[in-house]
Structures are given as C-alpha cells and as structure tokens.
Structure 1
Amino acid sequence: MNHNSPVSPCPLTHPGSPLPLASSRRVLTATQLRAHGVGAAQIEEQCGPGGAWQQLLPGVFLLHPGPPTSEERLHAVLLYARRPPGPGAVPQQAPRPAGDDADLPYEEAMITGLAALTLHGFPSAPPLLALDRIDVLVPRTRRLRSTGCARIVRSAALPRPRQITGVHVAPVPRALADAVAQLNDAGSVRLLLTDAVRGGHCEPTAILRELDQARLLPRPYVADAVESLLAEGRAVAEDRLFRMVREFGLPDPVWNVDLRLPGGPHLGGVDAYWPDQAVAVELDMRAGGDAEWSEAVRRREHLEQLGITVVHVTPRKLREGLDQQATVVRTALMAAVDREPAAYVVVLPR
C-alpha cells in the first residue's frame, strides 16, 4: 500500500483500523478522524445504514453502534463545545494545525448544571443517563448553539474547573446556579442547595453569590429555598463548633447567648461564650452586603472595648481547619489571665 492508497474505514476494534486501539474513548471529532486518515466519505459510510459508527453531535462521532455510555456523552458534549470554529467563523485564538485538537484539554468548556452536580456526588441529582441534555459552560463569545444532548450555557468569565473522572466540571456554586436556572420546582431546588451544604461542598455565601450574579434570587421558589439553605448552613456550622470544643478538650462554654450591660443596651448575640475568660466565638453567617458587614464590625468592636475577646470564625474555617480554630480559641482563653478584667455583662439565653 502506498501513501495514495485509501484507508478502509474500520471500527476501532478491527485489527486493520487506522485508529489507535489503545484509546479508552470511543468518541472522536471529524478533525481527529481526519488526522488518522479517515476522510469525510468514509465517516459518512460508517455512519450510514448498517455502519459501525454514529454521529452524536455535529462533528462528533461515536465509534460503535450501541447506545453511548454516560462517559461517552460527557466527552461528546465537551468535544462539541470546544470544537474549533468552522469556516467563516471568527477564531477566538490562534489557528491550530489540523489534528492538533486531539491533544487539547477542554480549557474553554466544562460540564455544569445537573450533570455537574451528579459528578460532584449530589444525592438528589439525577443519574447522567436520565438527563436528556447535558449543560456545558463556554465563553460568551463562542458561536455555538444547543443541539442534541448538548445545552450551551454562556458566561463572560469562566470559573476554574475541577477535574472529575477525567472530565472538566464547573465548581459547585456555579453548577448549582446553572441547574437552578433550569428548574421551577421549589422542592428540587431546596434539595440541591441542602446537598451542597450538608455534603461539605461549599458554604452558603458562595452559593448566594452565584445565585445573585445569575439574577435568580428574586424568583419566589428560589427565595424559599435560600431560607432553608441558610438554616442548614448554620446548623452544620454549629455542629462543627460543638465538635471542636468536644474533640479538642476545650472548656465548656455557654451556647447561643445574648450579652447585655446591666440595665443597659443589648450588645449582641454570640454562638459560644466563656464568662470566666470573657471570650466569645461568633460564627460569620452573613448573607447580606456591606451594611450587614459594617454592623457586625461595629458590634465586635464594642465588645472588645468592654474587654471581651471575640474570635471570629467562618463555616469554611471550621470545615477546613477545625484544629487550627481550636488552637485560636485555646490561645484566647489562656491569654485571659494576662488581660485587664472585662466589664461585667449579663448573659441571657438567645
């Protein structure tokens, strides 16, 4: 056979196939097939009646006749989304040599929405094969349309993806926002938001930020679900705070109390307080903006002026470094003997 001889189109499993037998993936683009010597006519023949291949998406082919697996659908969607622009399109980057896209990462496309949440391990997200469409996040400037099993979601700025089972996946807050945008059922939205916090995937503030940027918070069913999200976030954070005190041998505080000056104004609530050492722990569960932050700072400064040490912790700090937060609290308790006595305050149940 000389270099002008046509290459017979064969399925991957055929010993005479021009394609790499070691490939673990049976999904390739037309460009990748051409790089292996398979022309357009051969592709059309293989995808015709009785052929061994099938076209999943424009320019993306499944190299076996049976139904695609979940992994094959994911890779097909990503290959379609990062496919180089066709003739006449404005290129978004420098042109690449023919066939070079076979080695490209999915740097400008990532799975998002419900499919991403399934890959992140959300119990309430549906199985991948149950999804008629898979959401894929691309730059806003990409000239792509939703088709087949691929639904295009555009963004002015792409987040940094996570890699799960070899697939680029949007981080949980962004995937949640894209999933919620396609839902209209309060129960489903509430379950997804609860899974995010209960499973330790992210904090409520990160979710709220994405929902706000996507302009989803005004939707009534989203607003209802957000209330449950904040309640779940506080419950999880309080549980970690209880564990911190118990597991690291800290003295028992009084929990969830209000502080007041005798006969004076209300000083604010704290999540844990050690009266003998005048040390308070305050969980930062803010869901608001600058006004709420300013009020929290003002309250903390007032307590510190009275000689009360305020340890400010976030749910993320408790999730990622419980031992470090225990050390901070223990240090504050030990330092109490070297401080001036704090003002007397009244401690009341909150």
Structure 2
Amino acid sequence: MAHLESLGVPPGTSYRRCLPGGPWQRLLPGVVLLRTGDPTRRQLVEGALLHCGDHAVVTGLESCRRQGLKREARPGEPVHVLLPLHLKTTSNGYVVVERTKRMPAPVRAEGLPLAPVARAVLDACRRMRERPPIRALLAEAVQQLGAEPAELFAELESGSKRGTALPRAALLEIASGARSAAEAEAMGVWRRTGLPEPVWNFPLHDERGRHIATPDAWWDDVALAWEIDSYEFHFGQPGYASTLARNNRYAAAGVALVQTVPSRLRTAPRAVTEELVLAYQAAAARPRPPVVLSGRHKRLVHGL
C-alpha cells in the first residue's frame, strides 16, 4: 500500500476498494492485488516477496518448480520464503517465513530470487513427516533438476538437524542406486527377503555383446532381473510396446524376470517378498545363462 500512496492513492481509497465486492483485494498486510478473482501462483509469489522485503528468497517446492520440477502447486500450498535472522517479518496468511543465518545466494528464474536446488529441496523435505513423499521429491530432484546426491548430502549436513532423519534415509537409498521413489521403496522390500544385495540399474548384455536391458535390480549369481513397472508408462502406448520388447529380450537370453507394479510395494510387501524369494530359488536351480553385467556396483560413501 505504501507504493500506492506514493502514486497518490489515499489509504482510505485502497481500504474501500478492498472491501467485499470491491475491484481490488488484500493478499497480505500492506499488499493489494488490483483485480478480483483468484490470484495466479505468480501473483501469490510476488505478493509474498513484497510482504517480506528485498532480502527475501523463495525456497521449498516453489523454488524447485521454478527451476524445472514437473509438479503442479496444490490448492492452498504455502509459499516458503527465507529471510535473514535479524529481520522480524513473520509468517502470515499463505506465506511461511523461515528466518535463518544461512541465507543462500539466490539464483534468478523468471525474475524471482530462488534458493538453489539443493537448499530448496531439503527445505521442503525438512517440513515433510512421511517417507514416501520425501523419497519422491528427492528422486525427482535428482532426475529432473540434475541434483547430485553428494550435493544434497552436503546441504543436509550444513543445515539444521531438525527434520533430517527421513531425508537422510531416503538419500542413502537414492545414493545406492535408486532412480525413482518406487525403486527406493523396492530397496526396502528387498531388505525383507534375506537375499543377497542386488545390483541396481546397470546395463545387461548377452554373450555376443548385444544390449538386453538395464534392470532395476539384478542378482548376478542366478541371473534374476527385477523390474518395477508402472501402469502409466509400461502398460500404455508406446510404453507397452517397449516393455514387451524388453521382456522378449530377457526371455531370449534365458533371464528370469520378476515384474512388480509400484503400488504393490506399499500394499503387499510380504507377497512381493515371497515372489522374489521363490523366483531367486527357481533361478538358482537352473544353469545360469551366459549374460554379462556391464560395469560394477559402486556403493557411495558419504561418511555417514
């Protein structure tokens, strides 16, 4: 409103125009939107920055989306903003203000000051209370935003330790080879089987060097592949055709295959565990086919 006053609009005029039925609306204390109707997400973010002042930096999911995360904002999702510790602005309305002594150097996207990816992702994860959405966000940050697990670990260690137990566990799964939230959940199911640890996401070739597939999990001693196949991709066109071709290559090479849809990792982990154990036993009972794993399984060590 101070800007409106500097343009010659009296405070009383602004007040009347923001009353119900008026042409303007009040987003936050001192922040007026000069139109009716629902504000856009961009207008909400700009309103949050006006409310918080020149030192504000947008973090959390909003920062991640502005830097390429393919997620829509949920209705009512707050805008998470960082401010230097000495400032006194507090959370209000849809704005969550976090005052910190670790202000990041902002990156600019669409003219907005944003926390770098690693900081924004971990700021969002620290406020989550369940492992599946944390796994999903971290996996998306690695896949879609190019975040390195080592960079995420460094940010985790540098910041507050509050709310870091679940992100730390999910990061360890991702660093061990999981490329998605579903694969991270698959690692949890594997630990229940008592089977040797498989190799995660390494290419497989036949004896003539022809590519077969890159299984989500692979037990090399018995040539058993485990694929986490979502309905959305693997059983819709053109995903179905590529999945069918992959399965035919497995069969031609003599590879034993277990396919699991992601939902069963959560709803039927015991059944999936039993399927893996039985498949492993059956694979071990037949001669191993002459297939070759490319590369070696590397375990990332972060001193944790």
Please identify, of 45-54 and 136-145, the stretch whose mean Cα deviation from structure 2 is larger: 45-54
Q: Structure 1 residues 49, 197: closer, same or farther in 2, change over 3 A?
A: closer
Q: Which runs of 5+ in 1 are unaligned?
A: 1-29, 83-105, 241-270, 274-282, 290-350
SS at match of 1:144: coil
Deviations 1:114-147, CA, capped at 9 Å, x for gaps: 2112222223x4x235243110111111101111
Match of 2:33 among 50, 53, 62: 62
TM-score, normalised to structure 2's length?
A: 0.57
The equivalent position to 1:37 in structure 2, one of 2, 5, 8, is 8
Contact 1:204-1:233 at 8 Å conserved across structures: no
What SS class does the counterpart of residue 97 from structure 2 fall into?
A: strand
Aligned mates of 1:195, 1:166 — CA distance in 2 = 24
The reply on whether 1:227 has 2:182 as its aligned counterpart is no
Partner of 1:119: 66
Deviation at 1:70, TM superposition (A): 0.8
Partner Cα distance (2:154, 2:96) in 1: 23
Provide the rounded CA distance (Å) in 2 between the counterparts of 1:272 and 1:197: 21
Counterpart of 2:159 in structure 1 is 214
Give the conservation status (yes or no) of the 8 Å contact 1:190–1:225.
yes
What is the rounded CA distance, in whole Å, between the counterparts of 2:76 and 2:85 in structure 1?
Answer: 24
Aligned-residue offset at 1:72:
0.3
2:105, 2:147 → 1: CA distance?
Answer: 15
- In structure 2, what is the Cα distance between the partners aligned to 1:35 and 1:71? 24
Q: What corresponds to 2:24 in structure 1?
A: 53
| Shift of residue 221, structure 1, vs aligned partner | 2.5
Compute the displacement of 1:287 (Å). Answer: 1.6
2:37 is paired with a residue whose SS is coil
Q: Does 1:172 align with 2:117?
A: yes
Kept in 2, the 8 Å contact 1:45–1:51? The answer is yes
- Relative to structure 1, the CA distance from residue 115 to residue 32 in structure 2 (aligned partners, 3 Å threshold; closer, same or farther) is same
Aligned residue type for 1:48 = L
* One-letter amino acid of the structure 1 residue matched with residue 110 of structure 2: T
SS of the aligned residue for 1:130 comes to coil
CA–CA distance in 1 between the matches of 2:76 and 2:114? 16
Structure 1 distance, partners of 2:6, 2:295, is 65
Offset at residue 46 of structure 1 (A): 0.9
**Which protein has the larger Cα radius of gyration, Structure 1 or Structure 2?**
1
Q: TM-score, normalised by structure 1?
A: 0.50
Q: In the alignment, residue 113 of structure 1 is paired with which amino acid?
A: G
The answer to which structure, 1 or 2, has the higher relative contact order (CA under 8 A, 6+ apart) is: 2
1:14-39 Cα shifts (integer Å, max 9, x gaps):
xxxxxxxxxxxxxxxx1211121112
Cross-structure match for 1:244: none
The whole-number CA distance in structure 1 between the counterparts of 2:103 and 2:166 is 27
Provide closer, same or farther for how the CA distance between residues 186 and 78 of structure 1 changes in structure 2, counting only shifts above 3 A. same
**Structure 1 residues 186 and 81 mapped into 2: Cα distance closer, same or farther (>3 Å)?**
same
Identity %: 28
| Unaligned 5+ runs, structure 2 | 181-199, 203-293
Where does residue 248 of structure 2 map in the other structure?
Answer: none
- Structure 1 residue 44: Cα displacement: 0.6
Q: CA RMSD in A?
A: 3.1
- The corresponding residue for 2:236 is none
Matches within 5 A, 1:294-305: none
Please tell me the residue identity of whatever aligns with 1:40: P
Give the direction of change, closer, same or farther, for the CA distance of 1:138–1:44 in structure 2 (3 Å limit).
Answer: same
CA distance in 1, matches of 2:32, 2:153: 39
In the alignment, the residues of structure 2 paired with residue 182 and residue 218 of structure 1 have an alpha-carbon distance, to the nearest angstrom, of 7
